[in-house]
Amino acid sequence: MNRIATAASEEPSYLGGEHSIKSWLLTKDHKRIAVLYLISVTLFFIVGGIAALLVRLELLTPAGDLLTADGYNRAFTVHGIVMIFFFLIPGIPAVLGNFLIPLMIGARDLAFPRINLLSWYLYIVGGLIAVVTILLGGVDTGWTFYTPYSSVYANGAVVLTGLAAFVAGFSSILTGLNFIVTIHKMRAPGMTWFRLPLFVWAHYATSLIQMLATPVVALAILLVVIERAFGFGIFDPAVGGDPVLFQHLFWFYSHPAVYIMLLPGMGVMSELMAAFSRRRVFGYHIIAFSSLAIAALGFLVWGHHMFVSSQSPYAGLVFSILTMMVAAPSAIKVFNWTATLHKAEVRFDAPMLYALGFLGLFLIGGLTGVMLGTLGLDVHVHDTYFVVAHFHYVMVGAVVMAFLGGLHFWWPKMFGRMYPQLPARISAVLIFIGFNATFFPQFVVGYLGMPRRYWEYVPEFQIYHVMSTMGSFVLGVGYLLPLIYLLWSLRYGEKASENPWDAVGVEWLTPSPPTSHNFHETPTVVWEAYEHEMFPGSEVASGRPAAVPSHSRLAEAD
């Protein structure tokens, strides 16, 4: 046994040791905070999911029969706000990123453990405010808060909801800040920038966006609140404001926010592709830089949400061509992931099925994104179900696949238990089928002209909504299954070894689950990213047969 593991066996794991609620709520351990986030984002996913179910049930028939018009508007608003601000945006970074970034770079914790805990509290405060607004009857602005509807005309607790998003935004900013400093300052000896796992690169790019874009949406929401509460003319033209200004501010954040959700998912993808191909990722550097390119270009395309908003047609030209450019770095990632399978040793464990599912859904989401960036076509499909389908493919289909793929991949590390493979594989397949069944019909009904956010609709669209609602049941089962067998595994699952997938990365040198301080001694990195041959924790290190324990190299190294 290597020294890290030996030393570790004397220390309790981060899950062991103190058990009191207080010790959890005041923890500064990034791993415990990640677990707190995991529990909370799951709860919010359920809240957002219930709202989604109401929406889908209402849309089964063209008449508005299940909910009132206002009830429906509130349901889709809750769905959007909760899923985006409280599930998708924190999802991968705050759970997997939080847990893994220090482990991956060989650090004992994030740079600012207290701020990390503060982030979680801000998130929870924002979330509780959101829950209170729901209990008070909700709000009907949609997650987009368009003015002057939100700032003057909307009914419901707009100010409180704005506050919820505002506070949650600061949680996101602080997480980004923490990650950036950690990645700059706390890498273990030998962990050069180009030995960083691509997951870390993706989070670095994500953090930049979180820090630079989130303040803008916070400001925009604040201005809405000011106009609503004090009647200042900011967005309302009746008192001299400019309603379209809000859209610029909002999308200046919310387009990059798509990448706050997507980039970490892409980071997970790179890890999964490398691990389950058991080879180095093809074109490491390009994948790393493409994350930065996406982050940078993502700031320049917000106007593609505004082609019919009265924005100048010439501005539309610029935003359209830049949108095409932002597709290039995504395309190169897909290309490189595919090339990673070449001469690989591909294993089809559950996480890999999720990764393949991501690829399929992301392809459809990305290609329809190109369609939407195409000026002449967007005029027709803008604000229809075509857009709804597109962004669900990217932000939900692909991102949740990646989230679940990552969770299945690192679950043994996080909780020290294996889960049963068969139900995990079944749920990956169910999600893929259910997702397509739910959202593919929405492309068709969108092109037919069904606008989004319609409580009632013309009868000829019904068939597609019936398909979609049926599909959503399959999808729901697919999303619920992991909840069952993962929880089951906590108690009954087989104990996980340090490196159950035979993957490469510093995190796989720690015990499963890791100790509170991650590393007894700071590890020294002597291998390139995903390089099995040099990795001390690998079964095939230096070509040794898998049966021979191969942990000596780390000992040599430190």
Partner 1 sequence: MQEFPILPERASTIAGEVDALFWGLVAFSVIAASAVIGIVLYLAIKYRAGSAADRSGRVEGNFKMELAWIATAVVLGIAVFTAGAKVYFDTVYAPADALHVYVVGKQWMWKIEHPEGPREINELHVPVGRPVRLTITSQDVIHSFYVPEFRIKMDAVPGRYTQAWFQATQPGVYHLFCAEYCGTEHSRMIGRVVAMTPADYEAWLESQKAGAVVASAATAGGTMASRGEQLFVGLGCASCHVQGPQARGPSLVGLMGTEVTLADGSTVVADEAYIRESILNPAAKIVAGWTPVMPSFQGLVSEEDIFQLIQYIQSLSRPGGASQ
| Interacting residue ranges for Cu ion, rule: CB under 5 A | 255
Distances (CA, A) of 494 to 4, 9, 491: 22, 18, 9
Size of the site for partner 1 (CB under 8 A): 95
Q: Is 321 in the site for partner 1 (CB under 8 A)?
A: yes
Residue among 73, 175, 121, 58 at smallest CA distance from 465: 58
Contact letters for partner 1, residues 91-130 (x by CB under 8 A): ----------------------------------------
Task: Name the binder of 334 from Cu ion, partner 1, none, CB < 5-8 A by kind.
Answer: partner 1
CA neighbor of 224 nearest in space, from 301, 139, 292: 139
Q: Which does 228 bind (CB under 5 to 8 A by kind): partner 1, Cu ion, none?
A: none
Identity of the residue, 178 or 323, whose beta carbon is nearer to Cu ion in the bound complex: 323
Of 230 and 314, which CB lies nearer to partner 1 in the complex structure? Answer: 314
Q: Which stretch binds partner 1 (CB under 8 A): 2-10, 185-193, 199-207, 328-336?
A: 328-336
The whole-angstrom separation of Cα 456 and Cα 557 is: 67
Helix (H, G, I), strand (E, B) or coil at 86: helix
Does 392 participate in binding partner 1 (rule CB under 8 A)? no
Closest CB to Cu ion among 390 and 425?
A: 390
Give CA separation, 51 vs 58, 129, 185, in Å. 11, 17, 42
Comparing CB distances to partner 1, the nearer of 207 and 499 is 499
Q: Does 422 bind partner 1 (CB under 8 A)?
A: no
State the minimum distance, in angstroms, from the CB of residue 371 to partner 1. Answer: 5
Instruction: Specify the residue, 307 or 354, whose C-beta has the smaller distance to partner 1.
Output: 307
Ordered alpha helix ranges (H), 59-112: 69-81, 89-90, 98-105
Asked if 277 interacts with partner 1 (CB under 8 A), we say yes
- The entry of partner 1, Cu ion, none near residue 255 (CB within 5 to 8 angstroms by kind) is Cu ion
User: Near partner 1 by CB under 8 A, which window of 177-185, 215-223, 302-310, 421-429?
Assistant: 302-310
Please report, for residues 140, 446, 508, the alpha-carbon distance to residue 451 in angstroms, rounded to integers and kept in the order given. Answer: 17, 7, 48
Cα atoms in the 13 Å half-sphere on the side-chain side of 177: 16
Residue placing its CB nearer to partner 1 in the complex, 144 or 178? 144
**Span interacting with partner 1, options 234-242, 393-401, 470-478, 508-516, rule CB under 8 A:** 234-242
Residue 219: Cβ within 10 Å count: 15
What is the nearest approach in angstroms of partner 1 to the Cβ of residue 62? 9
CB 232 within 8 A of CB 201: no
Among 26, 39, 458, 487, binds partner 1 (CB under 8 A): 458
Considering only 25, 229, 315, 346, the residue that binds partner 1 (CB under 8 A) is 346
Q: How far is CA 47 from CA 52, 78, 119, in A?
A: 9, 8, 21
We find the least distance from the C-beta atom of residue 345 to partner 1, in angstroms, to be 4
The reply on whether position 137 binds partner 1 by CB under 8 A is no
* Residue 48 beta carbon to partner 1: minimum distance, rounded to whole angstroms: 18
Please name the residues in contact with 279: beta carbons below 8 A apart, sequence gap of 6 or more: 340, 343, 344, 345, 530, 532
Q: How many other CB atoms are there within 10 angstroms of residue 185's CB atom?
A: 10
Window 479-538: residues binding partner 1 (CB under 8 A) = none
Q: Per CB under 8 A, does 242 bind partner 1?
A: yes
Residue 458 interacts with, from partner 1, Cu ion, none (CB under 5-8 Å by kind): partner 1
Q: Which of 182, 336, 436, 468 binds partner 1 (CB under 8 A)?
A: 336
Output 142 or 162, the one with its CB closest to partner 1. 142
Measured at the alpha carbon of residue 526, what is the angle toward residues 523 and 532, in degrees to the nearest 5?
105
379 touching partner 1, by CB under 8 A: yes
The burial class, CB within 10 Å (0-12 / 13-18 / 19+), for 492 is exposed
* 63 is an interface residue for partner 1 by CB under 8 A: no
User: Among residues 245 and 300, whose Cβ is nearest to Cu ion?
Assistant: 300
> What's the 3-state SS for 261-296?
HHHHHHHHHHHHHHHHHCCCCCCHHHHHHHHHHHHH
Stretch that binds partner 1, among 82-90, 118-126, 261-269, 272-280 (CB under 8 A): 272-280
Nearest 5 degrees, angle CA 361-CA 76-CA 430? 30
